[in-house]
Each structure stands twice: as structure tokens, then as C-alpha cells.
């Protein structure tokens, strides 16, 4: 079976908002991954921020045929450990960042992460397999 691809929120937002800088790249990557693409509840929650109703969210996501994955407890634990490292380095947030849950989920389940913003993922999950612009 081909590797499943966890789609980062920014890729979905690029396409939904027709981001002039990223829409073309993000659209091509999504088209290549149809049938292997997945999201989790963190991505869904971040994405839904831009819509008034769940029906709107579902309509926008329908064509992508995204698998809905559950974040395992092992990933939540890893996200907490990464958050501790972030705080030890001077990070000011008081709760784990969504990217920590997304990155930890991909790492724990050996998913490929599709993102156009890989900086934080590379810093905190250096062995994570990613599809990125560069």
C-alpha cells in the first residue's frame, strides 16, 4: 500500500482561499495524492475556523476524499514532549501548538506530511518524511 499522506492545514487553506503564492503548488500536490490523503481532527479544527457551518467545511473537503484519522495517544504524548522542548528553548505559548500534534501524529504513524511550511516540523521532528516546496 502506498504511504498515507497527512495534509497540513496550510495546504488546504491555500486551495480554499486561492492563495496567489501557494495555490498552484498545493493544488498539484493534493491532486497527486488523491486516494492516499488524510487529515486528523487537529487539521479539521484549524481548517474549520474559516467557515460558519460544518456543512460548508464538508462541502469544501468533499472532492479530496480525505481519510479521517484519529490521533493516537502515543502521538499526544510525543506532542507533549516536543512542547516541553519548545518551552525549555524559551517558547512562550502555554499549551502545545497544533503543529506539534500534527507532526507527532505523522511521526508516530509513519505518515508523510504534506506542508508548504516545514520549518517548525524540521526543527522538532527532524526524521519526519515530508512533501514540501523545496
What does pTM read for this prediction?
0.93
Q: Which tens digits make up the pLDDT trace of 105-126?
A: 999 999 999 999 999 999 999 9
CATH assignment of the domain containing 105: 3.40.50.1010
**Alpha carbons 77 and 70: distance in angstroms, whole number:** 14
**Alpha carbons 104 and 101: distance in angstroms, whole number:** 5
Q: Which tens digits make up the pLDDT trace of 7-51?
A: 999 999 999 999 999 999 999 999 998 889 999 999 999 999 999
Which range marks the domain in which residue 26 is found?
5-131
**Alpha carbons 94 and 97: distance in angstroms, whole number:** 9
Number of domains in the chain: 1
Amino acid at each position: 500500500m502506498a504511504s498515507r499522506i497527512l495534509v497540513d492545514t496550510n495546504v488546504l487553506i491555500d486551495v480554499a482561499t486561492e492563495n496567489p503564492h501557494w495555490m498552484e503548488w498545493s493544488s498539484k500536490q493534493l491532486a497527486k495524492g488523491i486516494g492516499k490523503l488524510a487529515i486528523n481532527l487537529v487539521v479539521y479544527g484549524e481548517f474549520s475556523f474559516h467557515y460558519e457551518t460544518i456543512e460548508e467545511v464538508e462541502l469544501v473537503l468533499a472532492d479530496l476524499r480525505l481519510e479521517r484519522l484519529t490521533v493516537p495517544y502515543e502521538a499526544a504524548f510525543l506532542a507533549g514532549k516536543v512542547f516541553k522542548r519548545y518551552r525549555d528553548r524559551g517558547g512562550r505559548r502555554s499549551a502545545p501548538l497544533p503543529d506539534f500534534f500534527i507532526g507527532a501524529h505523522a511521526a508516530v504513524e509513519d505518515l508523510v506530511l504534506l506542508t508548504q511550511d516545514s520549518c517548525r516540523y524540521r526543527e522538532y521532528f527532524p526524521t519526519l518524511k515530508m512533501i514540501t516546496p523545496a
